[in-house]
Structure 1
Amino acid sequence: MYLAIATDGVELQQPERTNELYASYWERLGPDEITKLLAEHDAGELLPDFNHVMVPVATLRRLAAGRVPEGWDDDFAAMLAHAREKGWLSEDGEAVRAHLERER
């Protein structure tokens, strides 16, 4: 799954794919614009390295609702467990780190 960030909003693409998580943007958005879009859509925050986004787990669940197959909750929980093992989950478990990529 990936979080698609664009000037017209933030969408979760391919929510059924729980084996990867990243964020991407197509336009020539700068850090300030990305930060603003994430905040406006309750989709997380850009980290100071400008290469990662902390995405609320609740946001991923909200954006995936009604669009995923049966068993997704278990697959999503496994993804979060893997993220915790790698140090990509916040201490409180409420946000997960996603690499930010510029699409070409």
Structure 2
Amino acid sequence: MIITAQDDGFSLNEPDNFSSFHVDAGGRTSAELTELATAHVSVIPIVDADHLWVSADFLRREGDSDERTGQLERLVEFAREKGWFDEDAQAIRAHVENLGE
């Protein structure tokens, strides 16, 4: 799953690709991405220097097939085991790619 930053928020691309989970900044600077994330806290509730935390609810919006639900739950469990899941925010830590300077 690739979460893509856009001028009006974030979109989810490749929602069934669980092997490529990251945020594509679309060339935005860290400050621009932080501002966008702050404006869309329902999608990205927590921001740090190199990662965004993506709402699990946002990821669930793309469908509810049994297979996709199972894959998403495995992703959450994997993230939980690695310390990449925030229980309070119900969000998964995602690496940011394509960050501008």
Measured after TM superposition, the shift of residue 72 of structure 1 is: 0.4
Match of 2:96 among 88, 97, 100: 100
Percentage of matched positions with identical amino acids: 28
Give me the TM-score of the superposition, normalised by structure 2.
0.80
Match of 1:90 among 77, 86, 93: 86
Measured after TM superposition, the shift of residue 12 of structure 1 is: 0.5
Cα distance between partner residues in 1 of 2:68 and 2:75: 10
Say if 2:74 is the partner of 1:75.
Answer: no
Q: After TM superposition, which residue ranges in structure 1, 4 or more long, deviate above 4 angstroms?
A: none
CA pair 39-78 structure 1, distance change in 2 beyond 3 A = same
2:86 is paired with a residue of what secondary structure?
Answer: coil
Paired position in structure 2 for 1:40: 39
2:29/2:99 contact within 8 Å kept: no
Question: What amino acid does structure 1 have at the position aligned with 2:96?
Answer: L
Greater Cα offset, 52-61 or 86-95: 86-95
Question: What amino acid does structure 2 have at the position aligned with 1:17?
Answer: N
Structure 1 residue runs of 5 or longer lacking an equivalent are none
Give me the TM-score of the superposition, normalised by structure 1.
0.78
Structure 2 residue runs of 5 or longer lacking an equivalent are none
Aligned Cα root-mean-square deviation (Å)? 2.3
Cα distance between partner residues in 1 of 2:38 and 2:89: 19
CA pair 70-43 structure 1, distance change in 2 beyond 3 A = same
